Copies of this chain bind each other. A is one copy, B any other.
């Protein structure tokens, strides 16, 4: 079937949100940990993590300022620090629960039952049970004016994970650890490897 732009505009709002979000496909589910300037911890699930470059190592996150993610954005702007945490499938319900609209000042860590972890190199909280923990430093905020979203550009400051996850050529085996994948607003998956392929030549 062919669905046109006009059809999409006519969709009931929640139907359209589910349709377009799930149409964007599979993505890394990441828990973003932050701390406000007055010391409140925050944890929020994002599915918009994007690789921007390896040298310097830069990742992007898309943020809608009026969403439940607004506390995360404010904390990042205040402290310039945030953490990225990948979790196992067994924790996917706790990860999803961070998307609830808790009041500012309420810690999602406490509410969903995930333990905080701190390292001396970062003021923002990490998820103790995460398989991969990344300390990020805010580099730039880029407005996407067409729909009022913003691109948060950050550089990787530290990465914490088990040595055994890193293969000889630098590839990180997330599949082996059952790291969760998301699709749309509420669907979760684990990965089943097909394989790695050699560098493609004409």
- A58 CB → nearest B CB, Å: 6
Known contacts A15-B170, A23-B134, A194-B190; A1/B163 CB under 8 A: yes
CA distance A114 to B9 in the complex (A): 32
Chain B residues contacting A200 (CB-CB under 8 Å) are 96-100
B171 contacts A194, C-beta separation under 8 Å: no
Number of residues from A at the complex interface, CB < 8 A: 107
A163 nearest CB neighbor, chain B only: B1
Indicate the member of A24, A89, A193 with the most B CB atoms within 10 Å.
A24
A128 to B135, CA, bound (A): 42
Enumerate chain B residues within 8 angstroms of A190, measured Cβ to Cβ: 191-192, 194
Question: How many copies of the shown chain assemble into the complex?
Answer: 2
Nearest CB to that of A134 among chain B residues?
Answer: B23
Q: Is the Cβ of B53 less than 8 Å from the Cβ of A147? A: yes
Q: Which listed residue, B2, B21, B98, touches A159 by the CB 8 Å rule?
A: B2
Cβ contacts under 8 Å, A47 to chain B: 51
Closest B residue to A190 using CB positions: B192
Contact A24 B59 (CB under 8 A): yes
Report which A residues bind B (CB closer than 8 A). Answer: 1-5, 8-9, 11, 13-28, 30, 47-60, 62, 64, 86, 89, 92-93, 96-103, 106, 111, 119, 132, 134, 139-140, 142, 144-147, 149, 151, 153, 155-163, 166, 169-172, 174-175, 179-181, 183-202
Extra contacts besides A20-B51, A187-B195 (9): CB < 8 Å: A5-B155, A25-B28, A25-B86, A27-B28, A60-B144, A92-B194, A175-B189, A186-B196, A188-B193
What are 5 residue pairs bridging A and B, where the CB atoms are less than 8 Å apart in the complex?
Answer: A3-B159, A23-B159, A24-B59, A50-B62, A53-B147
